[in-house]
Chain A
Amino acid sequence: MKILVPISKVPDTTSKIAFTDNNTKFSTDNVQFIMNPTDEWYALTRALELKEKIGGEVVAINVGLAENEQIIRKALAIGADSAVRVDLDPTDAYQVAVEIAEHAKSGGYDIIITGKETIDYNSYEVGGMIAEALGWNAVALVSKLEVEGTKALATRDIEGGTETLEVHLPVVICATKDLAAARIPNMKGIMSARTKPLAVVAPSGAAKLTSIASYTLPEKEKQVKMISPDNVGELVRLLHEEAKVI
C-alpha cells in the first residue's frame, strides 16, 4: 500500500490577520506558520495507521519554497517515510493540485489522503482537483476509512448524517475530524526525520485559473447590545422584531 499525503502550510489560528500592498497580499509579519491541522491530525495519521496495519509506505508532498521544509520535516518526524517538495510558490489551488497529480501519475500510489480544507482559505479544492486530474474516484469529508484488498470503505458526511461508500483503489480521500487520533512527534521521530529522504523537484508549470484581486477586513468590531438577565423577554422581542431571526 503506497499512500501520498499532501500537506500545506497555514498561519496558526491565533495569528493576526492583516494585509499589505494595498490589501492585495496577506501580511506574514509576526505570523507563525504550522502544518494545516486536518492534514496533520487526520490525513497523515490515518495514512500511518493504515501502513502499520497492512504494510506499505507513506510519502508526504508539499508544493512550496524551501522555507516549507520545516513543516515537511515535521511530517517526517510524525512518521512519513519520505517527502517530496515541488519547488513552486503556488498562486491558486489549481497549480497545487496539478503539481501533486503530476508527481502521483508515476508514483504508483494506491491512495492519496488530503485534509478537508486549509484553515486559511477554507476552500476544499485540492483533493477534488487532484482526483479529476488523475481520473480517480474521490470521497470527501471522510471520518472513517478502511482498506480491504483493492477496495476502500469510506464514511463521509452528508446533509444530516453520514453514509458509507465502497470505492475501488486508487482513490483520493479528503479527511475530516475523527478519521484518526492525532500524534505528537517523539524524540526518535524528530532525530530520524533529519535523515529521511526529502526530494526537491521542479514544477511542471501549469498556469493558474483564479487569483485574489483584493482582501477586506470587517469594518469594525460588532457592537454588542446587552440585555439585563432580569428582562429576558426583551431578548425574544429583539430577536423577532429587530434581528428577524425567530
Chain B
Amino acid sequence: MSVLSLIEVSEGKIKKASYEAAYYASKVAESLGTDAVAVVLGTSSSDELSNLGNYGIKKVLHANDARFDTFDSRAHTKAIADAANASGAAVVVLSFGPNGKLLGPRLSVRLKAGYVPGANELPAFTGNDLHVTRNVFSGKAKASYLTSTEKKIIAVSPNSLSPVKVAGTATVEAFASSVTDADFTTVTKSVDKVVGQVPLTEADIVVSAGRGLKGPENWGMIEELARDLGAATACSRPVSDVDWRPHHEHVGQTGITIKPNLYIAIGISGAIQHLAGVNQSKVIVVINTDPEAPFFKAADYGIVGDAFQVVPALIAEVKKFKSAVH
C-alpha cells in the first residue's frame, strides 16, 4: 500500500502547489501507516525531484519523457493510473489546479475511485471510509464528503495547509508507463504568460479595486501598493466591463475565484456575486467611504475612508514597514 501524489513540473521545476500536494500526501500516508510516493511526468532532474523528501515523500516515480511536457489529459491520466496501480496506491493526491481539475475526475472514472475535488483539510479514516471537508456554495458552507471505494482520490485546494519541511531526500526511480505515441494527440500551439507581474491565481496577496476609484487613470496607486506588497491586482466586474482594467483581472462569480492569504478591497461595495470569488481569502481588508457597504460584513479589517487619502497613506506605511524589516 502507499499514498501517491501527482507532482507537476513546469520547465523542469516543481510547481508551488505540488509541494502542498506532496505534504498533504505524506500526512495521509502517516495516518494510514504507509509511505508517500510521488509520480512526476515530464522533463526534470533527479536533483530537483529529490527535494520532495523535505515534504515527506519517500520515493519518486519519474517518467522523464518530454512527450509529457505538453498537457494531454488523457495520456497523463493513463500514466498516473499506471503509477497508482504499480505503487498499490490506496489514495491518490493531486493539486486542484488547471490540470488537476481534469485529471482528478478522469482518474476517478478510470480507477472507479471516489473523488473529492478541492479538499480544504486533511481526511479522517474510519475503516474503509474516508471523510474529508471542502467548501461548497462558493464558500458559504462546508460539506463533509464520504467515500468508501477501494481507491480514493483527493484534489487539494491550493493554500489549504502550510507545509512543514522535514529532513530527508526522496529516492528517484525511472518510471515507464504503458502510454504509447498514439496516446499523445495534443499539440501546444502557443503559450501566453503574464510577465513581470504576480499571476492573480497564484498570488499570496491581492490588491483589488472597484468603481469607487472613478476612472482608469486612478489605478496608479493600486499598482504601486501591489508592487510594494508583492501582490497581484484584481478588479470588480463593472470595472473590467468598461475596460478600465483587463478582463483577466475580473474576480467573482462570473470571473475567477481566488483565495489569497490577504485580499485588499478598495472602493468595492461587496455584492454577493463579487464575494463569491473572493470570500475564501484568509484575511480580507476593506477600504470604503460608505460604512454601510456590505463588504464590511465579510471583512477582517475595515477602514471607512476615502481611497484617495487612505491608499497613499497605506503605501507610505507599507514602504516604511518593508524598509524596516529588510
A124-B96, A159-B98, A224-B300 given; name 5 further pairs at CB < 8 Å.
A13-B138, A128-B103, A131-B74, A138-B74, A164-B189
A residues in contact with B276, CB < 8 Å: 13, 119
- B316 nearest CB neighbor, chain A only: A232
List of A residues within 8 angstroms of B135 by Cβ: 122
Check A232–B149 contact: CB distance below 8 A.
Answer: no
- Stretch binding the partner chain, chosen from A49-57, A61-69, A207-215: A207-215
Interface centre among B137, B190, B192, B253 (most CB of A within 10 A): B137
Please judge, given known A-B contacts A124-B101, A138-B74, A166-B186, whether A226 and B283 are in contact too, CB under 8 Å.
Answer: no
Which of B143, B273, B320 lies in contact with A215, CB distance below 8 A?
B143
Chain A, residues 128-163, CB within 8 Å of chain B (1/0): the string is: 110111011111110000000000010011111111
B131 to chain A, nearest CB (A): 6
Q: List 20 A-B contacts (CB under 8 A).
A: A13-B138, A122-B138, A127-B102, A129-B106, A129-B108, A131-B74, A159-B98, A165-B186, A165-B187, A166-B187, A178-B247, A209-B114, A210-B115, A210-B147, A215-B136, A216-B141, A217-B140, A222-B298, A224-B299, A228-B303
- Give the residues in chain B near A162, CB-CB below 8 Å: 191-192
Q: How large is the interface on A (under 10, 10 to 19, 20 to 34, 35 or more residues)?
A: 35 or more
Across the interface, which residues of A come within 8 angstroms of B318, CB to CB?
236, 246
B199 and A132 contacting across the interface, CB-CB below 8 Å: no
Q: Tell whether, in the assembled complex, residue B101 and residue A141 are in contact, meaning their CB atoms are under 8 Å apart.
A: yes
Question: In the bound complex, do residue B300 and residue A243 qualify as a contact, i.e. CB atoms below 8 Å apart?
Answer: yes
Classify the interface of chain B: helix, strand, loop or mixed.
mixed
Find chain B residues with CB under 8 A from A226 CB: 301-304
Q: Which of A13, A37, A132, A217 contacts B110 (CB 8 A)?
A: A132
Contact of B321 among A140, A222, A240 (CB under 8 A): A240
Inter-chain contact A214/B104, CB cutoff 8 Å = no
Supposing A136-B74, A139-B73, A229-B305 touch, asked if A158 and B190 sit within 8 A by C-beta, the answer is: no
A-chain residues with CB within 8 Å of residue B163 when the two chains form the complex: none
B255 contacts the other chain (Cβ, under 8 Å)? yes
Stretch at the interface among B31-39, B56-64, B214-222, B307-315: B307-315
Q: Which of A10-41 contact B (CB under 8 A)?
A: 11, 13-14, 17, 19, 37, 41
Q: B106 — which chain A residues lie within 8 A by C-beta? A: 128-129, 131-132, 138
Q: Roughly how many angstroms separate A131 CA and B108 CA in the complex, as a whole number? A: 11
Task: State in angstroms the CA–CA spacing of A60 and B305 once bound together.
Answer: 49
Kindly provide the distance from the CB of B80 to the nearest chain A CB, expressed in whole angstroms: 12
